[in-house]
Chains A and B, each alone.
Chain A
Amino acid sequence: DAGVTQSPTHLIKTRGQQVTLRCSPKSGHDTVSWYQQALGQGPQFIFQYYEEEERQRGNFPDRFSGHQFPNYSSELNVNALLLGDSALYLCASSLRTGRVAFFGQGTRLTVV
């Protein structure tokens, strides 16, 4: 049973660029959430997607956007990258109730 998979595992981008991160949910799950984990901190909720729509959003600027596809996979897009966007980005999947989340290995984004 495949768990949550994320790609790429590492990424280096320059300030001002745009980035797309990808996530495939655990088999049987239809809901995907994204979290940002800065160094030495706990994860912070970015948003959650269900039925291809953003169901809930955390306190992140509009530069952060996402998408969910009919196969439930998801993308996180970040525009106009800032140095402060450097972090581990975690994808979590769950059933539609959205309460019990299983996480992927994360994508380490470094902005230089």
Chain B
Amino acid sequence: AQSVTQLGSHVSVSEGALVLLRCNYSSSVPPYLFWYVQYPNQGLQLLLKYTSAATLVKGINGFEAEFKKSETSFHLTKPSAHMSDAAEYFCAVVNSGGSNYKLTFGKGTLLTVNP
């Protein structure tokens, strides 16, 4: 079974400050991990993915995340927040092989950026 825990349902930062959104996962097999962003009344946009290559992955809009197997974590960071980063962020896990293709999502973290 897989699960994702996103610590902090709401994170608030000032414009220009560091963004850190936390994600911990549980998986019985090697995982692939993803961060998606959702703007109000829209679908999910893929920010970045870990698919067992480099553990530090870079995504769109200046975001990056590091896969840490020992800590079962995949935290999302951005050095300097922009007003346009305000959105809901979802971490997700899927098996890297086998017949289980289901993406399991966390409950999401709402990011607010203050001017």
Contact = CB atoms under 8 A, between A and B. Distances in A.
A83 to B, nearest CB: 21
Contacts of B106: 42
A72 interface: no
Contact of B102 (A56, A104, A108): A56
Given A55-B101, A56-B101, A42 B96 contact: no
Interface in B62-115: 90, 92, 94-96, 99-108
A101 interface: yes
B103 A56 contact: no
Contacts of B95: 99
Nearest to B101: A98
Contacts of A35: 103
Interface in A18-50: 31, 33, 35, 40-45, 48
Contacts of A4: 43
Interface residues of A, number: 27
Contacts of B101: 31, 33, 48, 55-56, 98-99
Given A33-B101, A104-B43, A99 B90 contact: no
B46 interface: yes
B102 A106 contact: no
B98 to A, nearest CB: 11
Contacts of A40: 108
Contact of B51 (A98, A99, A106): A99
A56 B51 contact: no
A4 B46 CA distance: 12
B42 A105 contact: yes
Given A100-B34, A104-B43, 7 more contacts: A33-B101, A44-B105, A90-B44, A103-B43, A103-B46, A106-B42, A108-B41
Interface of A: 4, 6, 31, 33, 35, 40-45, 48, 55-56, 58, 90, 92, 98-106, 108
